[in-house]
Amino acid sequence: MSDTHKDPQGHEMLAAPGRSRMALDRFITFGAVVVMFAVFSITAKNFFTMRNVLSLALQTSTTTLMGIGVTFTIITAGIDLSIGSVVALTGTVAVMAAIAGVPIWISWLIGVLVGVVCGLTNGLLITRLKLPPFIATLGMTFVVRGVALTITNANAWPAPDRFGALGNNTIFRTGNQFPGIPYPVLVMIAVAFLFHFVLKKTRIGRYTYAIGSNEEAARLSGIKVNRIKIISYVICAALAGLVGIILASRMVTSQPNSAIGYELNAIASAVIGGTSLMGGVGTVGGTVIGSFIIGILTVGLTMQGTNYFMQQIVIGLVVIGAVAFDQLRNK
Amino acid sequence: MKKLLLVLVALAFIAGFVSAQEIAVIVKTGNSSFWQNVQTGCFDAQKELKAKTPKLSVTFLGPQSESNVAEEINIVESAIDRGVKAIVLAPSDVTALVPAVKKAKDAGIPVVIIDSLLTGPTGNYVSFLATDNDAAGRACAKELIARVKAATGSDSGKIAVMSYVAGVGSEIGRVGGFKDYIAKHSHLQVVTTQYSNADMPTALNQTTNVLASNPDLVGIFGANEPTAVGMARAIAQAGLSGKIVAIGFDGNAALQNFVKDGTLQAIAVQSSYNMGFLGVKTAYDAGFAKKSVPAKVDTGFIIVTKDNIDTPAAKNVLY
């Protein structure tokens, strides 16, 4: 593949020629985060405290993790709408396993594995039955939610106390000076670095971009398109599974009816971060920044006491504005 | 042509035969223990009524989530189309369900409204069964004021309201009554009202943020089940259990535990079982027995605290 390859929308595909401009773009979006942070630090009491910054990171971590996963599927020119339901199902299964006496960490592992199974199903529906990703994952949204409701009879089951460790414990806590870094934040950082590496430095990553920019060309150049697609849906749903156990752990209950609509926040994070719904374009770093733009807005507006209905308007306008800005710049 | 007509007549006959004895219970969502409790009430009523009408069948339906109003309208319309005998409906929107209910009335199907208010002419439905949400909201406010007074010696300070879905009938009554009572009977000031859309993690995050930005908060009210659980979890995690007056709504196992450990000082528990049980019985009276039914029935609520949580009165409503 040549470095000057472009997709039909004229986006630059591989990093080399666009590197300086991508760095500039990243700088601009990162700048937006810094500005928002500065504004809320002035207008919202207690916003800029160590405790609150960590709380903000904890609240945003779940959207970030889902966003990183869905970025993979969007880069292949696909989408995964089922991840909100996958979050509910995986958390539910993990809690029920723990209640049944399975060691806690194995119950977490089971939760993630359920996510892998969901992703594998999505991938097979899309590659074997040739279903459009929108339809396949939309269908799975109902199937997965239905399974979660059926196995719990729609009840919230309280988990054993130790199940709460993943979502509620912290590391490096020093008495009252430093509240400690919540485990989910560490998980988010590790996952972000890992999948940044996968996307940028490994063959799977490069093939993912290639499929999204021109699937036929990728196929002709010998890339196993179906396999890479399935991998991207498995990564996406496995991360949703991770979010499922983190949220179930934070709540210390199974919530079969929670996380409705979370997939939209994840997709919005990816898109704000510069991922193109046409495929072929997107980065893990962009998605992380995108999710934090939403997170900072939500937390900041709440803390400065902005009316809840106004918050909705502001967040919606930011999503539209961010993508419009991206479009104009790419002309 | 004749054949087609015959088939149509046969189909209509079968459809009429199958559905003639149905009472359709349509709720906001099948997906929470509150509505599961309503369902238990419905099926207990069915068991009792089968003695009189052996072919009676009670179906229990609802959309995926509480904010999916359009889906609920579709469910009502399909019940009308298959000619059910009566409908028990918990409308998830005060106005959006009005045309569908009117349609049922025009088709001669009596509708019993449960849980949440519906606007429009009251002649559209035969009876309205609900917790008096306004009264329950006021009772929560009264409890909160009394406990703030007991803790701080004054009835002034900041409080926050953690609500669920903005503009739903039960929310307007409950949160409206709460705020009205607070304004009229205390000097407490509501600094913020948040809406969780009945999603527990959202309520947890919102409460965390409200507590962080208002360290001088003296009281907080969580207005439905998932919201109150998320709120209580946030209070516990912030280390504020017992240091802030917190009142919840509804009474699942998690909320009961928070009352027992002192994170929540009180919960107002509605009799969801009664809504289902009395809802189906009222619908039966109107649709099968053709009796006149009371226009309004209060299904009741009880304030549950650490002191009365183990009494039989509380145990009857907890789930």
The pLDDT tens digits of the residues spanning A230-284 come to 999 999 999 999 999 999 999 888 888 889 999 999 999 999 998 999 999 999 9
- B227: contact with A, CB 8 A cutoff: no
Residue B2: pLDDT band with limits 50, 70, 90:
low
Residue B226: pLDDT band with limits 50, 70, 90:
very high
User: Mind listing the pLDDT tens digit for each residue in A155-188?
Assistant: 778 888 899 999 888 888 777 677 889 999 999 9
* Burial call A99-124: b when 16+ CB within 10 Å, e when fewer: eeeeebeebbbbbbbbbbbbbbbbbb
Q: Are A9 and A15 in contact (CB under 8 A)?
A: no
Nearest CB partner across the interface for A302, out of B29, B201, B209: B209
Mean pLDDT of B2-18: 53
**Distant-in-sequence, close-in-space partners of B74: CB < 8 Å, separation ≥ 6:** none
ipTM of the complex, rounded to two decimals: 0.82
First-last CA distance in chain A: 24
**CA count, 13 A, side-chain hemisphere, B310:** 3
Nearest CB partner across the interface for A149, out of B31, B199, B229: B31
User: Mind listing the pLDDT tens digit for each residue in A128-154?
Assistant: 999 999 999 999 999 999 999 888 877
Q: Closest by alpha carbon to A158, among B256, B303, B97?
A: B256
Using an 8 Å CB-CB cutoff, list chain B residues near A156. Answer: 33, 229, 252-254
A251/B193 touch (CB, cutoff 8 Å), yes or no: no
Higher pLDDT, A153 or B133: B133
B31/A258 touch (CB, cutoff 8 Å), yes or no: no
Nearest CB partner across the interface for B31, out of A59, A256, A302: A256
Q: Are A322 and B230 in contact (CB under 8 A)?
A: no
Residue B194 pLDDT > 90? yes
Which range, of A46-55, A170-179, A273-282, B32-41, averages the lowest pLDDT? A170-179
A303/B213 touch (CB, cutoff 8 Å), yes or no: yes
How big, in percent rounded to 5, are the helix, strand and coil portions of chain B? 50, 20, 35
Residue B291 Cα, gap to closest chain A Cα (Å): 35
Residue B115: pLDDT band with limits 50, 70, 90:
confident
Task: Count A/B contacts: CB-CB distance under 8 Å.
Answer: 93
Using an 8 Å CB-CB cutoff, list chain B residues near A258. Answer: 199-201, 226
B166/A309 touch (CB, cutoff 8 Å), yes or no: yes
Residue B213 Cα, gap to closest chain A Cα (Å): 5
Nearest CB partner across the interface for A303, out of B65, B166, B212: B212
**Facing residues of A156 across strands?**
none
**Distant-in-sequence, close-in-space partners of A28: CB < 8 Å, separation ≥ 6:** none
Q: Closest by alpha carbon to A84, among A295, A260, A268?
A: A260
Rounded Cα–Cα distance for residues A136 and A184 (Å): 30
Q: Which two tokens stand for residue A36?
A: 């928002």
DSSP for A41-65 reads: HHHSTT-SSHHHHHHHHHHHHHHHH
Q: Are B284 and B47 in contact (CB under 8 A)?
A: no
- B167: contact with A, CB 8 A cutoff: no
Residue B6: pLDDT band with limits 50, 70, 90:
low
Rounded Cα–Cα distance for residues B260 and A61 (Å): 31
Residue A16: pLDDT band with limits 50, 70, 90:
very low
Q: Which two tokens stand for residue B12?
A: 């209509």
Rounded Cα–Cα distance for residues A277 and B316 (Å): 53
- B240: contact with A, CB 8 A cutoff: no
Candidates B213, B231, B319, partner chain A, best to mutate (most A CBs within 10 A) = B213
Mean pLDDT of B98-112: 93
Report the pLDDT value the prediction gives residue B3, as an integer from 0 to 100. 61
A258/B205 touch (CB, cutoff 8 Å), yes or no: no
Residue B174 Cα, gap to closest chain A Cα (Å): 18
Q: Closest by alpha carbon to A90, among A300, A236, A229?
A: A236
Rounded Cα–Cα distance for residues B46 and A163 (Å): 40
Report the pLDDT value the prediction gives residue A241, as an integer from 0 to 100. 98
- B257: contact with A, CB 8 A cutoff: yes
- B166: contact with A, CB 8 A cutoff: yes
Mean pLDDT of chain A: 89
Report the pLDDT value the prediction gives residue A155, as an integer from 0 to 100. 74
**Distant-in-sequence, close-in-space partners of A202: CB < 8 Å, separation ≥ 6:** none
B212/A247 touch (CB, cutoff 8 Å), yes or no: no
What chain A holds in terms of domains, given with CATH numbers, is 48-329 (1.10.3470)
B233/A251 touch (CB, cutoff 8 Å), yes or no: yes
Q: Would you say the C-alpha torsion B134, B114, B308, B313 has a positive or negative sign?
A: positive
Q: Name the strands in the sheet holding B296-298, side by side, starting at the edge strand that comes first in the sequence.
A: B57-61, B22-26, B86-89, B111-114, B127-130, B296-298
Instruction: Burial-class residue B309 by CB neighbours within 10 Å (0-12, 13-18, 19+).
Output: middle
Using an 8 Å CB-CB cutoff, list chain A residues near B210. Answer: 302-303
Residue B1 pLDDT > 80? no
What chain B holds in terms of domains, given with CATH numbers, is 2-129+272-299 (3.40.50.2300), 133-270 (3.40.50.2300)
Residue A45 Cα, gap to closest chain B Cα (Å): 5
B254/A156 touch (CB, cutoff 8 Å), yes or no: yes
Candidates B28, B31, B252, partner chain A, best to mutate (most A CBs within 10 A) = B31
Q: Give chain A's contact residues with B (Cβ, < 8 Å).
A: 44-47, 49, 51-52, 55, 59, 62, 142, 145, 149, 153-156, 158, 168, 247, 250-253, 255-260, 298-299, 302-305, 308-309
A149/B210 touch (CB, cutoff 8 Å), yes or no: no
**Distant-in-sequence, close-in-space partners of B291: CB < 8 Å, separation ≥ 6:** B285
Residue B184 Cα, gap to closest chain A Cα (Å): 23
Using an 8 Å CB-CB cutoff, list chain B residues near A305. Answer: 191-192, 213
Q: Closest by alpha carbon to A180, among A189, A188, A170, A190?
A: A170
The H-assigned helical ranges of A128-224 are 133-152, 165-168, 183-201, 203-213, 215-220
Using an 8 Å CB-CB cutoff, list chain A residues near B36. Answer: 153-155
DSSP for A152-175 reads: HTTPPPBPPGGGGHHHH-EES-BT
B253/A168 touch (CB, cutoff 8 Å), yes or no: no
Q: Name the strands in the sheet holding B156-163, side by side, starting at the edge strand that comes first in the sequence.
A: B187-195, B156-163, B217-222, B245-249, B266-270, B301-305
**Distant-in-sequence, close-in-space partners of A248: CB < 8 Å, separation ≥ 6:** A90, A91, A92, A94, A95, A111, A159, A163, A167, A254, A255
**CA count, 13 A, side-chain hemisphere, A29:** 31
Using an 8 Å CB-CB cutoff, list chain A residues near B261. Answer: none
Using an 8 Å CB-CB cutoff, list chain A residues near B171. Answer: none
Using an 8 Å CB-CB cutoff, list chain B residues near A256. Answer: 31
